[in-house]
Structure 1
Amino acid sequence: MKHTLLAVSEFTGRRARFFEQMPDNSVALFAAAEEVTRSNDTEYPFCQNKNFYYLTGFNEPDALLLLIKQKEADELVCQSVLFCREKNPMQEIWHGRRIGPEQASGEYGFDASFACEEIDELVPKYLEDKAQLLFCQGADEKFDRRVLNWNSQVKAKVRQGGKAPGVLIDCSAIIDEMRLIKSPDELDIMRKVNRISGQAHQRAMEKTRPGKFEYQIEAELLHEFARHGARHPAYGSIVAGGDNANILHYTDNNDILKNNELLLIDAGGELAGYAADITRTFPVNGKFTPEQKAIYQLVLDAQELAIKAIAPGKTLAYLNEITCEFLTRGLHQLGILTGDLTELIAARACKKYFIHGLGHWLGLDVHDVGDYQVDKKRQQLRAFEPGMAMTIEPGLYIPLHDVNEDIATPVDEKWRGIGVRIEDNILVTETGYENLTVNAPKTIAEIEALMAENTGAEADVTGQHSH
């Protein structure tokens, strides 16, 4: 199950930075994920707990990490302890190889390693005489109960001179802040998974035709992810033809693709635990209609406006403000929004059709951890810093049934059924930004040229077979 592309020093360095933020005389606990049963005796593909993985690089289930910070002979000592599954020849024949405690210390840089069977015996001993206990509270109720049970075992020995941690600390904020700023090595992986995912989007454009099914295009995406090392998608791929694009989290992917409709694909691969999150929208037949072109260009221009404004010190709230004003002006110009433009801008009238946020943090999770510093108006006021990675994904969605009840004149039928989203992955740099999504065609000219070229090539092959 070892799949990291990062050096051991990356993980030991993270543990060292976490130790720096731990109180003296404390213990921090981080649990690995468990395998999840899909049906009867089959499991879902294993996905490691991201905080555990971030600190260990260890990709087996049922493990536990202890970080211990205490004084010994007037010297502050930091110790990392891993509990993991024992080597077991019979289990490994059936289910795959295990690292085992002995090998884990050497390969992953832990100070000590023990078998999972020793957790309930040894963890309470590590908690004895510690003042504070840190864990990510509320993330996993089952683990929360285990932690409280271990602490209760220590409290039960108070008459024998034992002392349990009296302060329980939710350390989520500490690790969230660490994960929010990406290291150079993390960014190398994110660039790779973006390139792989960009190739998959390009392949999807090349393979799309009227009459194919959405799931057939999904299969092309998964093929391209896997053949370049991204064995799994980072999330359920959205392959939404026509009006399905107006369902934000559409994952059925079972409809037929129709001529003169758009196809919205929101899909990214996962590489060494890191996610790409890319959306492209393009015509099923390779040629935008005038109405599709107008909506698409408006969304594309809004995205470019937002991306070019990214720099240290700027905020998602600011990007949202300029993007909403731009989209409102554009929709008013197209006649989709009517009324006084100043009032429409003040009311953020575009939100009727731009119904989700502009972006989110990205990393080990698709919607990655990190405080947005949201105020009472739901504005995200966190100032950007170099090393932050995020998505920028404006969209406009006009369902087939939309008649815009807020105004006297219904939306013209020519716009209905159009759903467009364009999403790139962006890194904040010292001087501005870097777009990690470099090879997924995005302009109207690029998309139409790629699809025309491939349609022509397929026509030539078909012609050769017909003779």
Structure 2
Amino acid sequence: MSIPAQDLSPFAARRKRLMDIMRTRGGGIAILPTAREAVRNRDAEFPYRFDSDFFYLTGFPEPEAWVVLVAGREDRSILFCRGKNLEREIWDGYRIGPEAAADQFGFDQAFPVESLADELPKLIADQPALFVPLAGDRLFDLSLRTWLDKVRAMGRSGATAPGCAHDLRAILAEMRLVKDASEIDTMRRAGAISAGAHVRAMRATRPGLREYEIEAELLHEFRRHGSQSVAYNSIVATGHNACVLHYRAGDAELKDGDLLLIDAGCELDGYASDITRTFPVNGRFSGPQRALYDIVLEAQKAATAHTRPGARWNDGHEAAVRVLAQGMIDEGLLSGTLDGVLESQHYTRFYMHRTGHWLGMDVHDVGDYREPGAPPSADETRPWRMLRPGMVLTIEPGIYVRPAADVPERFWDIGIRIEDDAVVTETGCELITRGVPVAADEIEALMS
């Protein structure tokens, strides 16, 4: 997988920051492989996608690569990667090679990946601690055990093995939770591409088409603007399919009078976007569709108002749920008082997911949703994470109504979700995916 030329200084800064964190824990050695290539079927592989943590530290896009960082009196950054091989490059494409990789990506040293078995025991020896992905991959665990056994075998020569291990994934999750300026710039560009794709899909939609035809419009727009991939399998769901949360674009026909729910986003230079829009196939909302749509949009506005520095992660969800629950009562989907519906959680019959998730290199990005550390007491849970500038999350309320005897028939098979990507700023949040209309009147105007 090739990534366009970019400023590589943020990757070096992240490696330095990680080594500074390692020093606060006594120093040691961090070891992290990228993702392996995966076979799809005979003589064919899935399109390659690097490991997110590995790419976050290196910017290096090729498979069969490892990053090693040594934090001590003198820091060292080392890359292991595939060597140059003319024959394989004829078949599989250009390889950067260790010599060019060290210079281009800012590493102190680079070695052929074939030298791992010889070099890693020497690098591990006499380090106070390991920083590795604990129990994350069976083959990595086996390799690590082999290297440690070699270090222990050098004991009579005075070498010692690390005395403790830290979970590198947990450290990187905290680092990745707050995005730097280069990450946010990439995510803005990814959001703009995805918004354009949703606009294209709205304009293309009409009765008689199939879900996969609209998916093709999305994919065309993603690729023609430089996106390397989808961020996740696109959801293109018409009619009752919109009530299936993780529905895949299929061959269902788009029918006059139905809604179409599209949840789709591209991946650009390793970063995801994530947008959902729901709109009428014929370009005009019916009365019941518009009633539920406006409730969901008001819920998103309420959640957005609570997405700001100092607010807690769950504040936006709770604000959205109050609007959704009251709307369900007003439209006859639920009965009782708002407080009663909230306490009983009867609203989950029609709204069963949370109002957002972290977004970054992974569409459901890393990072705890509660504050790290122990709870205040054994009887309490950790408080929800406090939002800080640079965090990026989605805001995506919805309503999904399946047919049932106690549900007004006019709402049957209506599934609605509205989702945008939000960057927490110093004063509130910025919705970076509003290049596609969201108000019902604006959608109808676009489709007309």
| Range into which the TM-score falls when normalised by the shorter chain | over 0.9
Question: How has the CA–CA distance of structure 1 residues 447 and 378 changed in structure 2, closer, same or farther, with 3 Å as cutoff?
Answer: farther
Partner of 1:430: 426
1:447 equivalent among 432, 443, 447 = 443
Partner of 2:400: 397
SS in 2 for 1:38: strand
Q: Which amino acid aligns with 2:127?
A: K
Q: Which amino acid aligns with 1:382?
A: R
Work out whether residues 236 and 248 of structure 2, in 8 Å CA contact, stay in contact via their aligned partners in 1: yes
Partner of 1:230: 227
| TM-score w.r.t. length of structure 2 | 0.95
CA distance in 2, matches of 1:377, 1:249: 33
Partner of 1:308: 305
Report whether the alignment pairs 1:95 with 2:92.
Answer: yes
CA distance in 2, matches of 1:63, 1:231: 20
Work out whether residues 317 and 380 of structure 1, in 8 Å CA contact, stay in contact via their aligned partners in 2: no
Report which stretch shifted further, 437-446 or 421-430: 437-446
1:280 equivalent among 253, 277, 280 = 277
Q: CA deviation at 1:295?
A: 0.6
SS in 2 for 1:67: strand
Work out whether residues 317 and 379 of structure 1, in 8 Å CA contact, stay in contact via their aligned partners in 2: no
2:70 equivalent among 68, 76, 83 = 68
Structure 2, unaligned stretches of length 5 or more?
none
Q: Which amino acid aligns with 1:397?
A: Y
CA distance in 2, matches of 1:140, 1:314: 36
Work out whether residues 325 and 348 of structure 1, in 8 Å CA contact, stay in contact via their aligned partners in 2: no
Q: CA deviation at 1:378?
A: 8.5
Q: Which amino acid aligns with 2:63?
A: P
Report whether the alignment pairs 1:31 with 2:33.
Answer: yes
Work out whether residues 213 and 257 of structure 1, in 8 Å CA contact, stay in contact via their aligned partners in 2: yes
Q: Which amino acid aligns with 2:400?
A: Y
CA distance in 1, matches of 2:316, 2:270: 28
Partner of 1:334: 331
CA distance in 1, matches of 2:198, 2:289: 19
2:75 equivalent among 65, 75, 78 = 78
Partner of 1:111: 108
SS in 2 for 1:301: helix
Q: CA deviation at 1:380?
A: 7.0
Runs of 4+ in structure 1 over 4 Å off: 374-380
SS in 1 for 2:74: strand
Partner of 1:364: 361
Report whether the alignment pairs 1:133 with 2:135.
Answer: no
Work out whether residues 133 and 169 of structure 1, in 8 Å CA contact, stay in contact via their aligned partners in 2: yes
Q: CA deviation at 1:345?
A: 2.7
Tell me the matched-pair count. Answer: 440
SS in 2 for 1:97: coil
1:24-423 to 2 correspondences below 5 Å: 24-70=26-72, 76-373=73-370, 381-400=384-403, 402-403=404-405, 410-423=406-419
Q: CA deviation at 1:313?
A: 1.0
CA distance in 2, matches of 1:380, 1:98: 47
Partner of 1:8: 8
CA distance in 1, matches of 2:390, 2:284: 38
CA distance in 1, matches of 2:5, 2:269: 6
CA distance in 2, matches of 1:437, 1:25: 41
Work out whether residues 2 and 58 of structure 1, in 8 Å CA contact, stay in contact via their aligned partners in 2: no
Work out whether residues 228 and 269 of structure 2, in 8 Å CA contact, stay in contact via their aligned partners in 1: no
CA distance in 2, matches of 1:140, 1:44: 19
Q: CA deviation at 1:68?
A: 0.6
CA distance in 1, matches of 2:123, 2:196: 49
Report which stretch shifted further, 383-392 or 253-262: 253-262
CA distance in 1, matches of 2:382, 2:330: 27
| TM-score w.r.t. length of structure 1 | 0.91
Structure 1, unaligned stretches of length 5 or more?
71-75, 404-409, 453-467
Q: CA deviation at 1:5?
A: 5.6
Work out whether residues 306 and 319 of structure 2, in 8 Å CA contact, stay in contact via their aligned partners in 1: no
Partner of 1:463: none
CA distance in 1, matches of 2:349, 2:27: 53
Q: State the Cα deviation string for residues 101-141 of structure 1 (Å, max 9, x = none).
A: 00001100000000011001101110011110111213322
SS in 2 for 1:45: coil
CA distance in 1, matches of 2:54, 2:282: 45
Q: CA deviation at 1:253?
A: 2.0
CA distance in 1, matches of 2:83, 2:115: 10
Q: Which amino acid aligns with 1:393?
A: E
Q: Which amino acid aligns with 2:21?
A: Q
Q: CA deviation at 1:318?
A: 1.5
